[in-house]
């Protein structure tokens, strides 16, 4: 039996899938994107571990060690973002349910919707940023890592790209509900992240396919 408010990362895989498949609005796409970031991070760490200490791939040791140091924190951070995303959406739903009989209640409700929507926008924006940061390390990892794990670099890249782009969908859907002064800044940031994600993802796929064909 799943207890209410159990962190997603503390559930079994089956429990999480069951929750995701349910009619409940949370967990949803934002949480799934954060979990995908965690999966991409785990695969990246695996590839690095399969490279470090193996003489044949010595030229990749330093980069793999650096990548592991930067990636390990994402294993925890992605889980936090998964929980934060669900909580943020729940707060948005609660704001929409506030009373609106009097002018004062209507104003309080409007403010609550904007503030909760801003949080529900910033959480996936952080997921997208961290996913992009991970993705940016993968083309070089594809070049220097253990070639026997090159397909895993490809899967990590696809997961990181999906996490980034999926999170940006959740940013976009909330934009119209957040305070106007934040809309333009967040919209520009999201566009820049998306374009960078597209380019780096393509670069990584090219590197992966090249090493697959050479192996």
| Contact status, residue 130 vs residue 72, Cβ threshold 8 Å | no
pLDDT at position 103 over 60: yes
| Residue 114 located in a structural domain | yes
| Residue 14 located in a structural domain | no
pLDDT at position 97 over 90: yes
Chain centroid, CA 173 distance in Å: 16
**CA–CA distance, 22 with 27 (Å, rounded to integer):** 9
Residue 133: pLDDT band (50, 70, 90) is very high
Residue 214: pLDDT band (50, 70, 90) is confident
Q: In the 8-state DSSP scheme, what is residue 99?
A: -
| Residue 16 located in a structural domain | no
pTM, full prediction: 0.94
| Residue 178 located in a structural domain | yes
Q: What is the pLDDT of residue 76?
A: 96
> Nearest-CA neighbor of 9 among 95, 80, 108, 85?
80
Question: Cα–Cα–Cα angle for 46, 52, 54, nearest 5°?
Answer: 115
Domain that holds residue 80: 25-214
Residue 1: pLDDT band (50, 70, 90) is very low
Q: What is the CATH number of the domain that holds 193?
A: 1.20.120.680
| Residue 2 located in a structural domain | no
Q: How many domains does the chain have?
A: 1
Question: Cα–Cα–Cα angle for 113, 178, 187, nearest 5°?
Answer: 155
| Residue 111 located in a structural domain | yes
């Amino acid at each position: 039996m799943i207890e209410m408010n159990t962190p997603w990362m503390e559930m079994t895989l089956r429990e999480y899938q069951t929750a995701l498949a349910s009619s409940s609005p949370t967990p949803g796409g934002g949480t799934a994107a954060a979990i995908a970031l965690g999966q991409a991070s785990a695969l990246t760490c695996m590839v690095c571990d399969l490279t470090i200490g193996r003489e044949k791939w010595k030229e990749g040791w330093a980069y793999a060690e650096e990548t592991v140091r930067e990636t390990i924190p994402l294993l925890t951070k992605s889980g936090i973002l998964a929980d934060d995303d669900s909580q943020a959406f729940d707060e948005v739903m609660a704001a929409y349910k506030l009373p609106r009989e009097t002018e004062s209640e209507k104003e309080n409700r409007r403010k609550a919707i904007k503030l909760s929507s801003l949080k529900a926008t910033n959480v996936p924006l952080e997921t997208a940023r961290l996913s992009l940061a991970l993705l940016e390390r993968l083309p070089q990892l594809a070049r220097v890592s253990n070639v026997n794990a090159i397909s895993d670099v490809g899967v990590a890249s696809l997961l990181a790209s999906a996490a980034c782009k999926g999170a940006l969908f959740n940013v976009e859907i909330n934009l119209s509900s957040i305070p106007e002064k934040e809309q333009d800044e967040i919209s520009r940031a999201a566009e820049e992240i998306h374009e960078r994600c597209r380019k780096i993802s393509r670069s990584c796929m090219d590197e992966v396919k090249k090493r697959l064909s050479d192996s």
